[in-house]
Amino acid sequence: MNFSRIAEIERFAQALIKGAAMGLYLTPKPGLVDLADCGSHPDLTMAKMERSLHILADYLEEMIRSLADNEHFICRALIGRKAEEVMFKVLGTNSHKGYIFLSGLLINARWHAGSHDESAMEKAVVAAAAQYFTAQGEADATNGRSARLRYGTGGIVREAQRGLPSLFTCGVPAYLDAIGRTGSFSIACFHTLSRLMQTVEDTTTLHRGGAMGLARIRRDGLRLEQVIAENGDHISFLEDLNFEYSRLNLTMGGVADMLSLTLGYLTACGLLTGERDRSRHHGLRSIGRCAAGR
Ligand SMILES: CC(C)(COP(=O)(O)OP(=O)(O)OC[C@H]1O[C@@H](n2cnc3c(N)ncnc32)[C@H](O[C@H]2O[C@H](COP(=O)(O)OP(=O)(O)OP(=O)(O)O)[C@@H](O)[C@H]2O)[C@@H]1O)[C@@H](O)C(=O)NCCC(=O)NCCS
Ligand SMILES: Nc1ncnc2[nH]cnc12
């Protein structure tokens, strides 16, 4: 039994939970639950989301047990499904359904990759996603599946199958670029949010607002990036956007998950403060460009 390997993956899991907490508490987040309000989610509260974080932590602990016991992969897919059921039973809503899948995938990838190295992690995510979706068979009748069929988008499935580009090619470079330039965690978070809004094929947005809704999020993400770059009042801009999104019943739960996953992965790599030289320590690529092609 390799106890240092288990200690390492436990630290990684703790970092992913911290990332979800940092993403939750970032305020304001248009249309989403934060310290100000519940956005366009009357079914969610801060207390429910915090309870959800504890369910996530228990889930990842079970995932690690399965990995350490070298169980068959299908056991971990069932653990994920069970966590979704527990979350829905306890909270009556999909508070972190997407993050259950994403964090489970990343824990599996980190275990098999053996390091934080970005290219090793990407390859391991692609392999885990292929294994999972091959075993998954006919997907459930979900909002995400309806959106993928109706709009020809990939949603969380294609995000996973492509090795989490919104994490490795968008979120991580965007955060490190901003923290390197400004030294401000808050600015780096909002800059990362702006880039993810322009990149993530968020099926929760499509479900609520259709193609026009997604185009709105992309446009607002670019505007937010510009307001931050011009040292404008991005907080007021976000507060106004939150009012608009709540009125339009528009949300971006997938963007929220990818922001949390970015903060969690950077925490695991010891890069959140931006002080360590990322290229030397983790084989992370130089400042990339988000899928938005910029
Ligand atoms: C693999 C599955 C997760 C597939 O899910 P599918 O897309 O078929 O079904 P959904 O129920 O729609 O769940 C997808 C959730 O993923 C998030 N998401 C959406 N787009 C993206 C994207 N492009 N990239 C990343 N993540 C994405 C999103 O989750 C977040 O938003 C939810 C909150 O928003 P809300 O609008 O409230 O959502 P709903 O309550 O559903 O709608 P309303 O009724 O309120 O309007 C919240 O869940 C956030 O996390 C999507 O919701 C799944 O089928 C699966 O297989 N899971 C179990 C297996 C597992 O975990 N195995 C471990 C693998 S190793
Ligand atoms: N803060 C948040 N508000 C609403 N849905 C979310 N999904 C993940 N994080 C969320």
**61-to-5, 55, 133, 161, 230 alpha-carbon distances in Å:** 14, 10, 23, 24, 43
**Taking 80 as the threshold, does the pLDDT of residue 53 lie above it?**
yes
Residues 6+ apart with CB under 8 A from 56: 17, 20, 83, 96, 99, 100, 103
| Closest atom of ligand 1 relative to the 253 alpha carbon | 31
- Do 292 and 218 touch, CB atoms closer than 8 A? yes
- Do 206 and 251 touch, CB atoms closer than 8 A? no
Would you kindly state where each structural domain of the chain is located, as residue ranges?
3-140+150-280
DSSP per residue over 229-273, as a string?
Answer: HTT--HHHHHHHHHHHHHHHT---HHHHHHHHHHHHHHHHTT-TT
**Taking 80 as the threshold, does the pLDDT of residue 27 lie above it?**
yes
The CATH class of the 3-140+150-280 domain is mainly alpha
Instruction: Share the mean pLDDT of the chain.
Output: 93
Q: What is the pLDDT of residues 174-187, one digit of tens each?
A: 999 999 999 999 99
Q: What is the pLDDT of residues 231-275, one digit of tens each?
A: 999 999 999 999 999 999 999 999 999 999 999 999 999 999 877
Q: What average pLDDT does range 283-291 have in this prediction?
A: 52
Q: What is the pLDDT of residues 153-165, one digit of tens each?
A: 999 999 999 999 9
**Taking 70 as the threshold, does the pLDDT of residue 195 lie above it?**
yes
* Number of C-beta neighbours around residue 45 at 10 A: 15
**Taking 90 as the threshold, does the pLDDT of residue 44 lie above it?**
yes
* Six token digits for residue 40: 């366009």
Q: What is the ipTM of this complex?
A: 0.94
- Residue 277 is predicted with a pLDDT of 56
**Taking 90 as the threshold, does the pLDDT of residue 129 lie above it?**
yes
- Residue 2 is predicted with a pLDDT of 82
Nearest residue (CA) to ligand 1, atom 15: 98
Pocket test for ligand 1, best of 79, 94, 265 (most atoms within 8 A of CB): 94
Q: What average pLDDT does range 214-234 have in this prediction?
A: 98
Q: Report whether residue 110 contacts ligand 1, using a CB cutoff of 6 Å.
A: no
pTM: 0.94
